[in-house]
Amino acid sequence: MTAPWILDTDPGIDDALAYAYLLGCDDVELLGLSCVFGNASVERTARNALQLRQMMGQQHWVAAGAAVPMVQPPRPPADFVHGVEGLGGVDLPRPTQAPSADAVERMIAEIRSAPKAVVLAAVGPLTNLALALDRAPDIVERVASVVIMGGTLDACGNVSPWAEANIWNDPHAAQRVLQAGWPVTLVGLDITSRIQLTELDFEILGASAPAGVLKAAAHSYIDFYRSQGFDGCQLHDPAAVIAQRLPALFEFETVGLDVVLEGERVGQVIRAPEQPRVRVAVGGDIAGIKAEFFRGACAGLGLAK
């Protein structure tokens, strides 16, 4: 039985890897990609999403959403990680279509049209989700589940000693989403920073399109992590969607959360037992998660038998 999914995303190299993985999952019906600022401007992330959809031969919708955070001034995009264009140095054909205009309204409509069915997977800043909650509070009771790549409880942050990039880019939105009372799974650096993928790992993808494009983008991603002293890139966004599908591969802590909104610790996710409880991934089967990623990604790229 398939479940309808929306991927809220800011492609982004690991976003592209998560997309390929979801396309290889028989139990996922990908309704569309709602795009947000983050790894690049929302104009670029929506264009990247259209290019990925076109390259992968898909027909689902792509919609552009929030361009700036809810409260704080926007931060510069992480072009030193993902490249100025958001997908490393890869060159993709220009998209033949434009994105839809309002990702937030599209998200609300999809959730309302299929109560208790839609899985909302957010792998960028959480601004689109927070805006959806403000416009349509009823979606809290209508969504099947929300899975988020973001934050860290006990591991070191990746934009400061305390904060992970998606939460740091819009902490006010993150606080709104994490405290809304809907069924949330948060998958952050406590587990994703421990999943290393090397260039040798990516050799399995081969050189033919579209696999060769994602392989080239992944190599660019690995180059950044190598400059930071790591042996390979970290599997952030794919790990989050894997946790939604196969939670048995993960270890969880269930706890209320809050987000620091200002000061040097802005973007830090902290335990707050008085808040609605959230399932947080704190560990897992690293080898099993890696194997599952390549199983799904290879299927999504048409490499699996």
Catalytic amino acids? Answer: 10, 236
The answer for 37, left when phi > 0, alpha when psi is -120 to 50, beta otherwise, is beta
- Pairwise CA distance, residues 296 & 298, whole Å: 5
Label the pairing between strands 233-234 and 196-197.
antiparallel
- Record the tokens describing residue 130, joined without a space: 């927070």
Q: Is 75 helix (H, G, I), strand (E, B) or coil?
A: coil
* CB of 139 closer than 8 Å to CB of 111: yes
Q: In the β-sheet with 184-187, what is the strand arrangement from edge to edge?
A: 61-64, 28-35, 3-9, 119-122, 145-149, 184-187, 277-284, 250-259, 269-271
